[in-house]
Amino acid sequence: MNIDRMRKVDYFAGIPLCLVATLWVGMVGWLRRWLWRDKVSPPKKVLFVELSEMGSAILVDPAMRKMQRDGNAELYFLIFKSNAVSLRLLNTVPESHIFTINEDGLFSIAWDSLRFLFWARRHHIDTVIDLELFSRYSALLTGLSGAVSRVGFHAFYNEGLYRGAMLTHRVMYNPHQHIAKNFIALVNAALAKKIEHPFSKTMVDDSEITLAQAQVDEAAITAMRAKIIKEYPAYDSTRHRLVIINPNASDLLPQRRWMQENFVIVMRNLLADDENILVLISGSPVERDRAGVLQKHVNSDRCINFAGCHGLDELPSLYQVAELMLTNDSGPGHFSAVTPLRTFVLFGPETPALYGSLGNSTPIYAGLACSPCVSAANHRKTPCLDNVCLQVIKPEAVLVQLRQALAENKLTQANKQTSH
């Protein structure tokens, strides 16, 4: 189902359904308290809900590990089927604990939603943490999950974003701090010993949002190098310097795409700078044709269309053999954070202050008065059809940063060889 249709269904069906579900959940909660005098026990089986954002599956990892460490809890995850592979980059949640919803159409969504409600009860999920900021669909799944504790962001006095009142732990979303810290606040609320209004009155230190690193073995690296050789037979890992270009961004927010001609200028210049540089244009299989157009415009045999040549779960091994990546503000900017890869991320409609990568990353951001123009308050949908926020970022300015990083890497490698 396309994004705009999903948003309309979430709005027109979501509001009345959230109202009905709120009444039902409230009545069940009242009966439970009256009949069994339930006392909320510490979370033992915790389900995280993040349906549509692949990058958020990485950004929530520090929060999930905190729940494991401080709460000694079993972790579960609910996500759209097309995004589930992002959880395999760090494998924090066991494969058997991941429930996927096929988002291809209304019938598949409805059927899988019903299956989920039985699955949650069969696994005795006692705590659900809804990571979504505005989805009424995730609010419904959380409220009807059967979990005693239901944690999520609540609008309080914010207008126009009704998601019902099915949460037992209502957390005030803080739009002035990084989303990873907001996710930590949700976990702190779930672990709280007393009721707060609102949750969570705790300090979240920068050290708490440090990402774990992916485990990449030598066999995976060898396999990735073989894939590169298949596309460029002259590839020599001891000589060539790999630069990854990701010119893609999902249809969820196409305004995040930097101009294609700018990517072409950057690639041509990097290839002209150093005969040992190879440029790999990355992407999914459906993005291969678009990558092919860019490759033709660059017009160099050292510019390789690598889109669709690897699975998403193979990205850590690709990032391990590369030296640098330039990407739009999209999933790969977060996926590379689980490796040491130096990454430069182009920001426009969103701000790195809230959604920046947690890895070895440098944001490139003009910071216009209108940016960021997407937020939890507008369902991350903007009326802007002219993304000047990215157009003002010129390829010459980007090249300055990339060239400096490549020069620093070259000097570091030279010093290592000298010391040996």
- In the predicted structure, residue 90 carries a pLDDT above the cut 80: yes
Give the residue extent of every domain in the chain: 3-209, 218-419
Mean pLDDT of the 357-386 span: 90
Question: Tokens 């096929």 label which residue?
Answer: 102
What is residue 47's predicted lDDT score, i.e. its pLDDT? 98
Q: What is the predicted pLDDT for the residue at 157?
A: 79
pLDDT band of 356, cuts 50, 70, 90: very high
Q: What share of the chain is helix, strand, coil (3-state, %, to 5)?
A: 50, 15, 35
Best CATH choice for the domain 3-209 from the list 3.65.10.10, 3.30.1860.10, 3.40.50.2000, 3.40.50.720: 3.40.50.2000
Phi and psi at 157, nearest 5°, equal -95, 5
Over residues 73-77, the mean pLDDT reads 98
Query: Could you identify the residue written with the tokens 């300090």?
Result: 203
| Residue of 52 and 4 predicted with greater confidence | 52
3-class secondary structure, 342: strand
Cα separation, 272 vs 169, whole angstroms = 56
pLDDT number for residue 177: 94
Report the C-alpha gap between 403 and 400 in whole angstroms.
Answer: 5
Look at residue 255 and give its three-state secondary structure. helix
* CA angle, residues 403, 324, 394, in degrees to nearest 5: 50
Q: Tokens standing for 133?
A: 């900021």
The pair of structure tokens assigned to 415 is 């010093």
Amino acid 28: pLDDT: 87
Residue 418 has pLDDT above 90, yes or no: no
Three-state helix/strand/coil letters over 163-188: CCCCCCEEEECCCCCCHHHHHHHHHH
> CA 143: distance to chain centroid?
24
**Residue at 301: amino acid letter:** D
Q: How confident is the model at residue 39 (pLDDT cuts 50, 70, 90)?
A: low
State which fold the 218-419 domain adopts.
Rossmann fold (3.40.50)
Q: What is the CA radius of gyration of the chain?
A: 23
Residue 22 has pLDDT above 70, yes or no: yes
pLDDT of the residue at 238 = 95
Q: Is the pLDDT of residue 84 over 70?
A: yes
Q: What is the DSSP letter of 194?
A: S
Please name the helix (run of DSSP H) or strand (run of DSSP E) that holds residue 29, with its range, or none: helix 14-36
Tell me the β-bridge partners of 139. Answer: none
Question: Could you tell me the sign of the dihedral formed by the alpha carbons of 199, 202, 206, 207, in that order?
Answer: negative
d(CA 175, CA 196): 20
Q: Cβ(62)–Cβ(209) under 8 Å?
A: yes
d(CA 387, CA 25) in angstroms, rounded, equals: 43
Non-local CB neighbours of 53 within 8 Å, separated by 6+ positions = 83, 252
- 286 has a pLDDT exceeding 90: yes
Do 218-419 and 3-209 have the same topology in CATH?
Answer: yes
Per-residue pLDDT tens digits for 302-352: 999 999 999 999 999 999 999 999 999 999 999 999 999 999 999 999 999
Ramachandran assignment for 164, one of left (phi > 0), alpha (psi -120 to 50 degrees), beta (any other): left
Phi, psi for 177 (deg, rounded to 5): -130, 160
pLDDT of residue 38 exceeding 70, the answer is no
Question: Percentage of the chain with pLDDT > 70?
Answer: 97
Span 369-389, mean pLDDT?
A: 87
In this structure, the number of other CB atoms found within 10 A of the CB of residue 379 comes to 16
User: Would you state the torsion angle of the CA atoms of residues 130, 134, 139, 142, taken in this order, to the nearest 10 degrees?
Assistant: -10
Residue 36 confidence (pLDDT)? 61
